Structure 1
Amino acid sequence: MSALKIAVAGASGRMGRMLIEAIQNADDMVLAGALDVSGSPAIGTDAASFLGKPANVAIESDLAKGLANADVLIDFTRPEGTLKHAEYCAAHGIRMVIGTTGLEADHKAAIGGFAQKTAIMLAPNMSVGVNVTLKLLEMAAKSFSHGYDIEIIEAHHRHKVDAPSGTALKMGEVIADAIGVKLDDVAVYAREGITGERDPSSIGFSAIRGGDIVGDHTVLFAGIGERIEITHKSSSRVTYAHGSLRAARFLADKKTGLYDMQDVLGLK
């Protein structure tokens, strides 16, 4: 079987470089394209030069050039860029793995439309451990739906621009679905001043930003006389890279459709 040809968006960023390194080390994949925003000083440079082993793939801002040889594009950029990339990929039959966070409902709806023309795997967190944690939360929420207060606490590095994190929101969605409510109807994102007693039907969110924290997430089920905490901690972005490559392999034989990491891991 021929190697899967992968392109990376945001190639000069921290996650982009982690993905490129993982692709370069994979036996069944080859780096076939690299994208970055127009005006980036990385444009025109070799995408793998930071590894000391050039890949002979230049970083491009032009989508036609950057994706000319790609089977799959892996994208961890910003919502606006991701939508532009998804539109192009849908028009040219290029599969996508999307790990971009901060996507609004209309963004997700647009991606769903693009998935009618190409195969897309969309997930706020590519970590295998996080996605197994989501399954555990689904199971736990069904048992703790009454008599337990649910709070989601997440911590990330000082440079993260959105809050709560996409992973925290996904955790909330999984829990809300499991107990038969809509997250938008029960989520509480801020508390300040005299707030009154806690609404027992709410799902609370707390966001911490500081230092170089890669990503910590804890869901607290607090009852009377006991509390249960389900926690996942990331110490390296390499877990996201490895999960992304696993997702790309999953998409290799897919023509169209919108998938998530639960599909990739066979957890549905």
Structure 2
Amino acid sequence: MSRTAPRIAIVGVAGRMGRTLVNAVMQDDDAVLAGGIVEPGSSLAGADLGELAGVGRQGVAAVDSLEAIVDDFDVLIDFTAPKVTLANLAFCAEHGKAIVIGTTGLSDDEQAELDGYAERVPTVFAPNMSVGVNLTLKLLETAAKALGDEGYDIEVIESHHRHKVDAPSGTALRMGEVVAGALDRNLKEHGVFERVGQCGPRDPKEIGFATVRAGDIVGEHTVMFATEGERIEITHKASSRMTFARGAVRAARWVAEREAGRYGMSDVLGLD
């Protein structure tokens, strides 16, 4: 694996996030755009990745399989769907490639499968690659330890564009997990994801979630700590997918020189 500029391939370059990732790699002087994958049989196979991303010809063509570029890349970036991601992870395990995964909506069984592969593959897995979001997670941990057991109700509110298929967002769930962990609570036991009808008064240990899907919202997350007389809100708002893409490229550069294992953005950023 390269110890200079890693050669990066991107899955799903026909989509909005894939095109943004192509752009982010091209803007990074310490990374090399090595390839991009579209769906098998796609009419975009053979298209120049730079032209596909709207930033000018780059001389690297899209392909419709990882096998076609197996010798050309060191790190794969995948922001697709759980089943596709796990298939790509298996490919990376077989061929000695590192991987950065931003896919959300994985089930518990799929998470366990990911963990199994991570024993053989250098893997960065994070529901949100934004540097700002990962700093926000540290702030939430601090706030929860100081406030959570002193009569403060905790609610997580997230908003995304109309095309997002999973809810709550992976980032919202991660925020809930961080808060729950800081308070020694189990999110599966104390997380409340629906309130309809006569649901009764709020349990003091609940961590509530509310979801908005509308328009072209890139991503907004607020965690509220509320008690009688005051409310503290910690919010992150993303206005461009580029913030996630740049974080993913940073993770790809970092993981290219790591041993097999599952890592998070806190490892990439040196926050732990």
Name the TM-score class by shorter chain. Answer: over 0.9
Partner in structure 1 of residue 88 of structure 2:
85
Which range is displaced more, 102-111 or 217-226? 102-111
Candidates 109, 112, 118, aligned match of 1:115: 118
Q: CA RMSD in A?
A: 1.2
Partner in structure 1 of residue 78 of structure 2:
75
Partner in structure 2 of residue 40 of structure 1:
42
Write out the 4+ residue segments of structure 1 that deviate beyond 3 Å after TM superposition. none
Which range is displaced more, 113-122 or 40-49? 40-49
Deviation at 1:52, TM superposition (A): 4.9
Deviation at 1:40, TM superposition (A): 2.7
For 1:3 and 1:249, the matched residues in 2 are separated by: 7
Report Cα offsets for 1:90-149 as digits up to 9, x if no partner.
Answer: 111100000011111111111111111110000000000000000000011111122111
Kindly tell me: are residues 240 and 67 of structure 1, through their superposed partners in 2, closer, same or farther at Cα, counting changes over 3 Å? farther
The residue correspondences of 1:250-261 to structure 2 (distance < 5 A) are: 250-261=254-265
For 1:113 and 1:52, the matched residues in 2 are separated by: 38
Q: Structure 1 counterpart of 2:57, which letter?
A: P
Deviation at 1:151, TM superposition (A): 0.3
Contact 1:34 1:67 in 2 (8 A): no
For 1:158 and 1:40, the matched residues in 2 are separated by: 25
Partner in structure 1 of residue 198 of structure 2:
194
- 1:224 matches 2:228: yes
Contact 2:78 2:102 in 1 (8 A): yes
Deviation at 1:88, TM superposition (A): 0.5
Contact 1:33 1:68 in 2 (8 A): no
Unaligned stretches of 5+ residues in structure 2: none
Deviation at 1:71, TM superposition (A): 0.4
For 2:270 and 2:32, the matched residues in 1 are separated by: 25
SS of residue matched to 2:225:
strand
SS of residue matched to 1:48:
helix
- 1:56 matches 2:59: yes
SS of residue matched to 1:195:
coil
Partner in structure 1 of residue 238 of structure 2:
234
Contact 2:223 2:234 in 1 (8 A): yes
For 1:130 and 1:66, the matched residues in 2 are separated by: 33
Unaligned stretches of 5+ residues in structure 1: none
For 2:42 and 2:81, the matched residues in 1 are separated by: 15
Contact 2:161 2:214 in 1 (8 A): yes
SS of residue matched to 2:18:
helix
Kindly tell me: are residues 226 and 191 of structure 1, through their superposed partners in 2, closer, same or farther at Cα, counting changes over 3 Å? same
Contact 1:134 1:171 in 2 (8 A): yes
Candidates 191, 204, 213, aligned match of 1:209: 213
- 1:142 matches 2:128: no
Which range is displaced more, 248-257 or 150-159? 248-257
Q: Count residues with an aligned counterpart.
A: 268
For 1:33 and 1:98, the matched residues in 2 are separated by: 16
Partner in structure 2 of residue 23 of structure 1:
25
Partner in structure 1 of residue 6 of structure 2:
4
Candidates 109, 128, 133, aligned match of 1:106: 109
Contact 2:192 2:207 in 1 (8 A): yes
For 1:44 and 1:101, the matched residues in 2 are separated by: 28
Q: How high is the TM-score relative to the length of structure 1?
A: 0.97
By relative contact order (CA 8 Å, sep 6+), the higher-ranking structure is 2
For 1:42 and 1:110, the matched residues in 2 are separated by: 31
Q: Structure 2 counterpart of 1:178, which letter?
A: A
